[in-house]
Amino acid sequence: MGWSDWSWGASKPIDQDPIKNLDPSLKEFLDREQPKAYKPATFSDTESNASSRTESPQSAEAKRRENLPDTNKVHESRPLPSQSLFKDGRYAHIWKTYTPESEVIAASESPAERLTEYFKGRSNSVHETALESCAFENEIWYHCFDTGDWKERARKRATLCRKEMKAFNRCYDLQSKFLHALGYTLSTRPEDERRNEAVQMHADKLYHRMLAYEEACDDARAKKRPPPPPFSVFDSEQKKAPMALITMTEAERLIFKGDDFERKTPQEQELQIMARRGDQKVAGAFRDEIFDWASQQHEKRNKRQEKVVSVLGQTVGKWVVPDEPPPIQGQEPEDASKFLK
């Protein structure tokens, strides 16, 4: 090799090419990971991609419409519904094409969606009703700084109306629990509104019955006398002790345990248990629909598991889609609506 090779550099022989000596699998990996050359998109490609994106919502909407009942179908054998104001048969031909709203909702929503929407609306309705029942306590709290003599105003400003705020919060909490315990429902029919009004009146009555007992206990404590014996607020005769009208289940004993529950009075403990049972009673109306929907979901899950197991094997397949117990149709719990007297 001459001095020109050292100064200008000589070309490498073909045998010394480093890529030639690489393992074939490594070369295949490098070729696969090499970034692809940029290719500008044409107008036809963008148009086809846009059409594919716009077709999916339309197909989903078309499938949803297929499940909806035909509202123009004439039902000759259908009797006159209760919604008709004319029981003598007038306008019966119009009612032949009537489709109840419940059938439309059942075809457009799953039971889980209906249950979620129902409880969301029921929670808002209970919130508004409890605020209406506690309007007096709310008014006192709202005008706290503007009422009373100068000593009372000084006390309220020093404590930031803590006493009034505590009274309102407790009223709202207890009124809400009484509404849940007595089976307050979402008003969808006129008869529901009438029943909810009766429930609201009775819940307010039980709330003031509880306050009267607490005031009697405070008065007896101030006069250093033994307090009156506690009674169940759900007992109209006020003779039975709290928790005497109900029997706690094993699940309720596991749920209602701890210092927070033990610090409550016996009447508050009874009310909390009955409020939970009232929610279970309302949810029981959807029990059959939820069970059927859960059974369908369980069957689909088993089919997915079988497909994954056939591809990846039983060990990996059951790790990806683990086994789940089938849904069990539960029993309807006790409720407090029988105490609505």
Mean pLDDT by 10 residues, the chain (341 residues): 50 59 75 70 52 50 59 70 77 78 67 76 91 92 85 86 91 94 79 87 93 92 90 80 76 80 86 88 73 78 85 81 73 43 40
Q: What is the DSSP letter of 330?
A: P
pLDDT of residue 193: 84
Cα distances from 212 to residues 111, 176, 207, 223, 274, in angstroms, run 43, 18, 9, 17, 20
CA dihedral defined by 141, 181, 124, 282, rounded to 10 degrees? 180
Q: At what angle do helices 135-142 and 111-133 cross, to 10 degrees?
A: 60
DSSP of 165-206, one letter per residue? HHHHHHHHHHHHHHHHHTT-----SHHHHHHHHHHHHHHHHH
Q: Residue 6: exposed, middle, or buried by beta-carbon count in 10 A (0-12, 13-18, 19+)?
A: exposed
Which pair of tokens denotes residue 220?
């007896």
Q: Is 258 left (phi over 0), alpha (psi -120 to 50) or beta?
A: left
pLDDT of residue 21: 73
User: Rounded to whole angstroms, how far apart are CA atoms 4 and 314?
Assistant: 69
First to last CA, the chain: 115
Cα distances from 246 to residues 56, 110, 231, 273, in angstroms, run 54, 34, 13, 9
> Residue type for 297, please?
Q
User: Rounded to whole angstroms, how far apart are CA atoms 287 and 332?
Assistant: 9
Q: Is the pTM of this model over 0.75?
A: no
Cα distances from 251 to residues 30, 233, 285, in angstroms, run 61, 23, 21
What b/e sequence results for 67-84 when a residue is b if at least 16 CB atoms lie within 10 Å of its CB, and e otherwise? eeeeeeeeeeeeebeeeb
**Other CB atoms within 10 Å distance of the CB of residue 144:** 21
134, 171 Cβ separation under 8 angstroms:
yes
